[in-house]
Amino acid sequence: MKYSDEYRDPALVERLYAGVRDVAAGIDAPVTIMEICGTHTHAIGRFGIKSRLPDTVRLISGPGCPVCVTAVEDIDRSILMARLPGVILTTFGDMVRVPGTDGDTLERARAQGADVRVVASVMDAVKIAAAEPQREIVFLGVGFETTAPTVAATLRRCRERNVRNFSVFSVHKVIPPAIQVLLDDPLLSVDGFLCPGHVSTILGVDAYEPIPRRGKAAVITGFEPADILQGVMMILTQIATGKVDVEIQYGRAVNREGNPVARKMMSEVFRPMDARWRGLGKLPGSGLALADEYATFDVFNRFDIPTVESKEVAGCLCGGVLTGRKSPADCPLFRTRCTPAHPVGPCMVSREGTCAAYYRYY
Amino acid sequence: MCLAFPGKIISIDENNQAVIDVEGTRRETSLDLMDEAVTIGEYIVCHAGFAIHKVDEELALEQIAMLRQLLEDEI
Ligand code: SF4
Ligand code: SF4
């Protein structure tokens, strides 16, 4: 891939490790840095970064994967929808394996005859709608500010073209309320945040301003080893000098104002709603429902979806893992009953889930 | 899940759909979310079938140069 070899240059990476050690040596107290994004968790594991940082620098994982934070009742409701006659349920790959109540999954629904299809883009779901006009195509939309605009742009096109057999179950979530919860958590002592790269392509820096206001460091960081190490070094430098701010390490994909076109489309097609996050509970204004002008594309206006009694998998510590309070190793099911091949909890499903990353790399 | 990758624009059609080249494979990408104009030959960052950012080639190279300089300055 273009622009990645340079960021894996071993000599460069070694120098950055040395730089991290130097800056860390000038800080008296141990430093805890949370990566919010699951792709960072994955990359940190894959490149073995944790074990090579000084003992005083600790990296912990946060609620960074929309697959992991999808509430169990949303999974249960999507399974119900998939089982409705005439429906084709479409979604991204990881979602089909996320366990709902009693371990039920979309994958299992499919094995029992439901028409569940994995797509790489919401546009692919609309193509299915065009190809199968007699069926009702439901898109289970998950994702943060990177992904929600793609659904917004697609729905605008669908409205223009008067597409009638396509609807969206929006479980999209936005990042700022989750950051606020982390900042307000008295049990979590984090000194700095590695902020997600591609979410920030859309959001820019504003969304993270509350972090320095709380005296904590924030650096928007890319996903290659040199990116992550430079991000860590920038966080340590902020802490060492006492000048905390939101800085951008990942300048090749992020600028300060983000992508205003994408944000505008998002705000036109969606409206904020209270949403339940696995692990964090119900957060005001943290979800995206369809705006009134797009109500015909809302699954809830199209189908009668009964309320369900959902429950979390017994014994799964995902809630603690997603808030950085627990490590996967603290979970008695980790590596025993819960593995990537047979995930019990959502954090084991996606490659970006904290438990899956720890399973592979630690 | 919100991983995105750079690709080079090969063609753009009248529906604002581009074909991009990512390491030799072709992918269809919508340009509806782009906040600046792009043309054939330029690089964009693509996520889930949508271009979300123009990759400033110069900036990318500059960042590499900056990193190399750090390397020379012994940080
Ligand atoms: S890349 Fe996006 S979806 Fe994936 S873990 Fe990071 S923030 Fe979450
Ligand atoms: S190991 Fe499995 S059950 Fe335990 S917290 Fe992780 S995902 Fe949940």
From B45's Cα to the closest Cα of chain A, the distance in A is 7
CB–CB of A77/A169 below 8 Å?
Answer: yes
Residue B48 to residue A124, Cβ atoms within 8 A: no
Give me the pLDDT at residue B1, please: 54
Q: What would the mean pLDDT of A84-112 be, rounded to a whole number?
A: 94
Distance A37 CA to ligand 1 centre (A): 5
Q: Please state, in angstroms and rounded to a whole number, the distance separating the CA atoms of residues A196 and A150.
A: 18
Q: Which positions in chain B touch A143 (Cβ < 8 Å)?
A: 1-2, 48
A120 touches chain B (CB under 8 A): yes
Distance A91 CA to ligand 1 centre (A): 16
B59 touches chain A (CB under 8 A): yes
Give the HSE-up count for residue B60: Cα atoms under 13 Å, Cβ half-sphere.
18
Question: Which A residues 279-338 touch B at CB under 8 Å?
Answer: none
Statement: residue B56 has pLDDT above 80: no
**pLDDT confidence band for A338 (50 / 70 / 90):** very high
| Structure confidence by residue, pLDDT tens digits, B15-44 | 999 999 887 789 999 999 999 999 999 989
Distance B69 CA to ligand 1 centre (A): 31
Residue of A nearest to B37 (CA): A261
Percentage with pLDDT > 90 across chain B = 47
| Pairing relationship of beta strands A166-170 and A136-141 according to DSSP bridges | parallel
**pLDDT confidence band for B75 (50 / 70 / 90):** very low
Average pLDDT score over chain B:
82
Give me the pLDDT at residue B74, please: 47
**pLDDT confidence band for B62 (50 / 70 / 90):** low
Residue B2 to residue A226, Cβ atoms within 8 A: no
Distance A264 CA to ligand 1 centre (A): 21
Query: Which residue's CA is the closest to the ligand 2 atom numbered 3?
Result: A316
DSSP state of A358: H
Distance B52 CA to ligand 1 centre (A): 15
CA angle A130, A131, A135 (to 5 degrees): 85
DSSP state of A29: S
Residue A147 to residue B48, Cβ atoms within 8 A: yes
| Structure confidence by residue, pLDDT tens digits, A200-218 | 999 999 999 999 999 999 9
CB–CB of A117/A134 below 8 Å?
Answer: no
Least Cα distance to B17 among B8, B25, B9 occurs for: B9
Q: Which positions in chain B touch A18 (Cβ < 8 Å)?
A: 75
DSSP state of A342: S
Statement: residue A95 has pLDDT above 60: yes
Distance A65 CA to ligand 1 centre (A): 5
Question: Which A residues 186-225 touch B at CB under 8 Å?
Answer: 196, 198-199, 201-202, 223
Least Cα distance to A154 among A297, A295, A292 occurs for: A297
A228 touches chain B (CB under 8 A): no
**pLDDT confidence band for B60 (50 / 70 / 90):** low
CB burial readout A241-277, b (16+ within 10 A) else e: eeebebbbbbbbbbbeebbebbbebbeebbeeeebbb
> In a 10 Å sphere around its CB, with 0-12 CB exposed, 13-18 middle and 19+ buried, how is residue A107 labelled?
middle
Q: Which positions in chain A touch B68 (Cβ < 8 Å)?
A: 12
Q: What would the mean pLDDT of A295-319 be, rounded to a whole number?
A: 89
Verify whether ligand 1 is closer than 6 Å to residue B75 (CB atom).
Answer: no
Q: Please state, in angstroms and rounded to a whole number, the distance separating the CA atoms of residues A33 and B48.
A: 29
| Structure confidence by residue, pLDDT tens digits, A67-88 | 889 999 999 999 999 999 999 9
A2 → closest Cβ in B4, B6, B32:
B6
Percentage with pLDDT > 70 across chain A = 99
Residue A39 to residue B50, Cβ atoms within 8 A: no
From A94's Cα to the closest Cα of chain B, the distance in A is 9
From A66's Cα to the closest Cα of chain B, the distance in A is 8
Q: How much is the pTM?
A: 0.90
Residue B60 to residue A3, Cβ atoms within 8 A: yes
Residue A202 to residue B52, Cβ atoms within 8 A: yes
User: Which range has the worst mean pLDDT, A2-11, A241-250, A268-277, A342-351?
Assistant: A2-11
Q: Which positions in chain A touch B71 (Cβ < 8 Å)?
A: 11-12, 15
